[in-house]
Structure 1
Amino acid sequence: MAVRGVTAAGPGDVDTVHAAIEAMNAFYNDETGLWGDPWWHSGVALRAIAEYMLIADSDEYATLAANTVEIQRAPLNWWPEGGGDFRADSTDDTGWWALALTSLYQVTKNSTYLDLAKEDEAYMYDYWNTTTCGGGLIWNIPSRTYHNAISNELYLELTATLHNLIPGDTFYLGQALKEWDWFNATGMINSQGLINDGLTEDSSCVNNGQSVWTYNQGVILAGLVQLSVATGESSYLDTAQSIADAVINDALLSPSGILTEYACATADDCEPNGTAFKGLFMRGLAKLDAALDNHPYKSYIQKNAQSAYDNSRNGTNFYGFAWQGPFDMGTTGRQASAVDLLLSTL
């Protein structure tokens, strides 16, 4: 896992992000176009390098990105219905890739990426429930079950983003507003201002009280920022701030001010998915911080990045699971999470 010729100067420096991306790309397979398993982690990694290119005004990874899209848009050999174009067997997996495509479109202005993201939005909306829970996307496509938070949060961010990218659009704005009105009324945002995993699978459709994952607190922030941009309404930012503050002030989620995936007793318990979650919260928090004039979350972001850099990084710029340290091992999820964290400091 050697990283070629990159110096990491510390959080807030573009070279530090570049070093972390180069380390992440040690997991990249040119033949599959993936950074490893699970599949959705590669969508997150692709989106992260696209956002790096936007911030750094660089096309360094454009060829790598194009390779990934070309290979991975083919029908999926593990999904019996094939799909293709990132249409997978769960709505959230499709959502991660669709958001990566919108970021790639912003970098390259290649309309193919935007068209794919629009195709993915339509696919996700095919699983908007018209019979139970008053609407909302279901998560598990084969079984047509489970209204979860993440699928609906991703759909909110995707549709609001599409609106903001397409001049004169009204359709995607309507979809974003429909999603938020439904989500906000479900009770998934609990009495502590935090978001649980989803709704019960009986006719009551109430908050199921399951784990408060960090990414569920973060993707909603990015979606609400996009919705505020789309509508000009600051009330969406107010809601986002209340969720962000609940995370930062929670002793389990932010012990000593460092974001922690407390729902996992150990890093092994978080595999294979949850190792990527914390960076997704920080990404959303950074989007919110940038939208607020007083930048109230800058110090929290910087503190977490400095802790990860000082305590959870090894000599070749791989980052471990716990940002408090010590470094445990390098995986795609851990590294993509660190890249998102470090991007949040720029």
Structure 2
Amino acid sequence: MKPVIDAVRVHVRTLLAVAALTVMAASSPTAVTAAPAQPTSKRADGSTAVARARVAADVLMGSYDPGKAWFPSSWWNSAVALQTIGDYMQRTGDRRYIGPLDNTFEKDKGVFPAGVLSGDPLLGNFTSRAIDDSEWWGLTWLQAYDLTGDPKYLDMAVTIANYVDGYWDTSTCGGGVWWDGERTYKNAVTNGLWIRLTAELHNRIPGDTVWLARSRTAWTWFQGSGMVNADGLVNDGLTNACTNNGQTVWSYNQGLAIGAGLELWRATRDPQILTTVRRLADAAIGPNALVTEGILTERCDATDQTCDDNGKQFKGIFMRYWTDLADTTHDARYAAFASQQAESIWSNDRDAAGRLGTRWSGATSDDHPNVFDWRTQASALSALTGVIPIPTPSASLAATLSPAQPVVMPAASGTTTLPIDLGVSATGFFPLTTLVSVDTPAGWSASPSGTLMRLQPHGNATPVEASRALRITVPGSTPDGHHRMTANVMAAGLHFTTQADVLIAHAIDFDTGTVDENPWLFDAGGSQSNGVQNRFADGGAHFTYRFPLPADTTSAQVILTIDAEFLVQVSVDNEHWTTVLREDRPITDGSNKADRIIDLTPYLTTSADGSKPVYLRVSDSFPDDGWGGRVYHVKANITE
């Protein structure tokens, strides 16, 4: 069959070359460039935009915990992430994630003590002392109502808004909603959310006058509050003396002010409101504002800083409402800005696993590396979703390689066979014969290197999927480092490229919570990483490393720098586990931090691919108190 396969490969490459020339001739924004895309009056190719967003959405939902029905560790961030998934579904027609939305609604609408889902006690119906958190959930359920038409979501949004209305107070600063239940601060985020929430309620409740009146009043108060400074930028909030506190202009506050005005304009058609919105938008992308070399940039995105878990999602909120602005005004400048963000994210801020980072320019530094997690994924997904045209393109084609960041630890001689699955997904209404071409580094080979895959899409609501097993042969002489392989898929004028970043390593030595950890992290298992050099697993969470030790390994030890309430287990098949370390004391202060040695020699068993894989899993020995095993550094000693 080899001549047939080679013929297919040549045919595929020829077609891809023709397609590439066509794309270049048309100056298509789907072409990947090494630098951020320049402003353009044209949005990215619609089918490609859908495919990119689908890949990013699937990565995001890989972090969703169906048991707790949220994204680990953050309550308000989970609301925004689910709202982002709702935006994606509404924009693309993909309806695969309606279930998780409803799962969250049903499981998390009750009363919860502090520390279960939020640092604050949850009072029921998605309310808490954090008034802005409550508003985020109100907007999330309005998005779910728009998607499904189920009145239970609208009713919940009304319940939340009635709760928030109790914190509107004219006795301090003449109006505004308090940020917290203790009534200590009036700020931009809480009041921008309030205007948007009340206006959305009015626009969805026939005959309403109450919510419209509240939205009008809040908008008028906000514009006169002083939070919008002389440059048209929104500072964080007000002082106790009811003046602008001069604190950071965060992108989400600017975006919420834009979004609030747009929804109220839809309710009133007052041209003055739209004029104000444009002024806020133009100020955001003006000199000395929120943009660096054309890319939306948070102050904490500087390479000598790191955004906290809140700041990681701010830019996505801005882009949610910027998309609304571009859709509403049809202003080419606003569309061009959105396109520029999406292109920079895809070209510069994406790793081989499809994860999207916090710095959309892709900038990084040793002390403050670009961070990739579910919050940054949700944020960037908003930008990718925003460039999908309306109406939704009738067809799309996407592909992934799994694992996308595999590790090969070659033996001293011979070759290693690396199994990788190519996944292809498509939407549309006609059968697709997809041409696949696989390119590997020099000296490597892929089997098959060219093939055909047939898909039968049936609309946009449920993308169809197909997979093909690939076997990559890696020479033992390959130098250590990262090596990239590429799969191109093409069908009926659609084209998508996906990559795998293969790490060749003869040693194991990495800090957790960094990009160096990613290839070894086989299963994140709901674990978390608060910045650089730590990963921890609280409660029912865990994380698993896979070490594909060389075939000629005779003994091995792994050294973990670890603390807190750890449970460490080892397996040869990721199914049957042996406990090798356990902290039997309830330690929550890190006082037991130490290097601990685990002998892996008893677990060295040769697998089908010739390596001797060992799985190491860290979890929580006291799952009820939230201080699970925390690892800082992993190193191995290997004897061949």
Residue 295 to residue 265, structure 1, CA distance change in 2 (3 Å): closer
Residue 269 to residue 80, structure 1, CA distance change in 2 (3 Å): closer
SS at match of 1:27: coil
Give distance in 2, aligned partners of 1:160 and 1:308. 32
Give distance in 2, aligned partners of 1:128 and 1:342. 35
1:319 Cα deviation after fit: 0.5
CA contact (8 A) 1:252 1:262 kept: no
Give distance in 2, aligned partners of 1:38 and 1:51. 20
Moved more, 48-57 or 119-128: 48-57
Amino acid at match of 2:236: D
Give distance in 1, aligned partners of 2:305 and 2:311. 9
The answer on 1:165 being equivalent to 2:204 is yes
1:266 Cα deviation after fit: 5.0
CA contact (8 A) 2:297 2:359 kept: yes
Q: Deviations over 1:52-85 (max 9, x none)?
A: 2212223211111111111221113217764111
Give distance in 1, aligned partners of 2:225 and 2:56. 38
CA contact (8 A) 2:120 2:128 kept: no
In structure 1, the partner of 2:159 is 119
In structure 2, the partner of 1:28 is 64
The answer on 1:83 being equivalent to 2:123 is yes
CA contact (8 A) 1:221 1:288 kept: yes
In structure 2, the partner of 1:300 is 337
Give distance in 1, aligned partners of 2:246 and 2:171. 23
The answer on 1:60 being equivalent to 2:96 is yes
Amino acid at match of 2:97: Y
The answer on 1:244 being equivalent to 2:275 is no
Identity %: 37
The answer on 1:339 being equivalent to 2:376 is no
CA contact (8 A) 2:348 2:361 kept: yes
Q: TM-score, normalised by structure 1?
A: 0.92
1:284 Cα deviation after fit: 1.0
Residue 241 to residue 193, structure 1, CA distance change in 2 (3 Å): same
In structure 2, the partner of 1:41 is 77
The answer on 1:19 being equivalent to 2:69 is no
The answer on 1:95 being equivalent to 2:151 is no
Larger RCO (CA under 8 A, 6+ residues apart) = 1
Alignment length, in residue pairs? 335
Give distance in 2, aligned partners of 1:150 and 1:267. 26
CA contact (8 A) 1:279 1:336 kept: yes
CA contact (8 A) 2:88 2:385 kept: yes
In structure 2, the partner of 1:309 is 346
In structure 2, the partner of 1:231 is 268
Moved more, 51-60 or 228-237: 51-60
Give distance in 1, aligned partners of 2:374 and 2:178. 27
CA contact (8 A) 2:176 2:222 kept: yes
**Match of residue 313, structure 2, among 249, 253, 276:** 276
Moved more, 329-338 or 149-158: 329-338
Q: Deviations over 1:212-261 (max 9, x none)?
A: 00000001111111111100112211111111111111335211110000
SS at match of 1:251: coil
**Match of residue 198, structure 1, among 237, 251, 270:** 237
CA contact (8 A) 1:267 1:321 kept: no
1:293 Cα deviation after fit: 3.6
1:144 Cα deviation after fit: 1.5
CA contact (8 A) 1:30 1:67 kept: yes
Higher-Rg structure is: 2
Q: Please give the residue correspondences for 1:246-261 in structure 2 after superposition, counting only pairs within 5 Å.
A: 246-261=283-298
Residue 176 to residue 295, structure 1, CA distance change in 2 (3 Å): farther
In structure 2, the partner of 1:156 is 195
Q: TM-score, normalised by structure 2?
A: 0.51
CA contact (8 A) 1:213 1:263 kept: no
Q: Which is helix-richer, 1 or 2?
A: 1
CA contact (8 A) 1:41 1:332 kept: no
Moved more, 98-107 or 295-304: 295-304
In structure 2, the partner of 1:5 is none
